[in-house]
Amino acid sequence: MSEPIFLQPIFQERIWGGTKLDLFGYEIPNDHTGECWAVSAHPNGQSVVKNGPYQGMKLGDLWSAHPELFNSKSAVFPLLTKILDASDDLSVQVHPDDEYAGKHENGELGKTECWYIVDAEPGAAIIYGHEANTKEQLVQMIENGDWDGLLTKVPVKAGDFFYVPSGTIHALGKGIVVLETQQSSDTTYRVYDYDRKDKNGNTRELHLEKAIDVTSVPQAYQPITHDTTKQEGLTVTSFVSNPFFTVQKWEVSGDVSLAGNEKYTIFSVLEGSGSLTAGDQSYALAKGDHFILPAGFGPYRLSGELQIIMSHE
């Protein structure tokens, strides 16, 4: 296939969501829209192909019917790209790894994820990690509700990046918009939810036994460094590369010619506008676009002023 696969996002209402996702040009369904599932084949919300011969197909169906477009050994589409609008604090939570999720969550994948901070209000912060030195201390601090003593807060600003392996206690704070790249999983174990109630007056379920099972100890926050390379028209910041995913930020200014790819590659346009040209075909790119270049896609050119998050297996 010689054209990009553009995808229509799915939107999810959340108690902590807001309206900032409309900054990407989306028609959001309500004023508590917390998540844009931009590139997803997860059963709880699948992206739909917007163009070309597979227009109207769900991404999961395309994965199953046309594996040649992806050149992957994974049984399911393994990644999920989201944009989150944390208008309020998210619950403090932790995710299982593949082994635990496979055993306890009906074969679901584990959830290792990472965040690129798109926007952050002054004073915004995340929770990342905890201060317990042993599992026993972790349990005691949770049982005592010593959240100030347990949870590590980290201030954030636009452009920051955080890698969040499974087993990490974490939460986005209010006033933050992130692009999240994660394993294709919807399994979350809530540790603490600020005792708030949903629209029906009920407190949300916590999952303390499973959360304690999967939380790694100790868990101090340590900033990670990034490598940046430049060529004419393109600056690439490499954030993370591991068995789950590779994630980079591409900043295009002008024109850059790029080689093709053996495996599929995911692109999310966060800022700017421009075009992708392959052969004699050109495709407009704008803020809020998400697309996949299929496996075997040949040489192409990116033009314009663009800020893109690129990811692949």
Beta bridge partners of 93: 170, 190
3-state DSSP assignment of residue 290 = strand
CA gap 300, 144 in Å, rounded: 57
**Rounded to an integer, what distance in angstroms lies between the CA atom of residue 230 and that of residue 249?**
12
Write down the catalytic residue from 190, 196, 204, 301: 190
In the three-class reduction of DSSP (H, G, I as helix; E, B as strand; rest coil), residue 100 is classed as: helix
113 marked as part of a ligand binding site: yes
CB 277 within 8 A of CB 255: no
User: Distance between the two ends of the chain, CA-based, in angstroms?
Assistant: 19
Judge whether 214 and 97 are in contact, CB under 8 Å.
yes
- Is 35 flagged in the annotation as binding? no
Known active-site residue 190: yes
Per-state percent for the chain, helix, strand, coil, to nearest 5: 15, 45, 40
Check the annotation: does 131 bind a ligand: no
Give the number of other Cβ atoms within 10 Å of residue 122's Cβ. Answer: 7
| Residue positions annotated with a catalytic role | 190
Question: Residues forming the annotated binding site for Zn(2+)?
Answer: 95, 113, 170
Could you list the residues known to form a binding site, using ranges.
Answer: 95, 113, 170
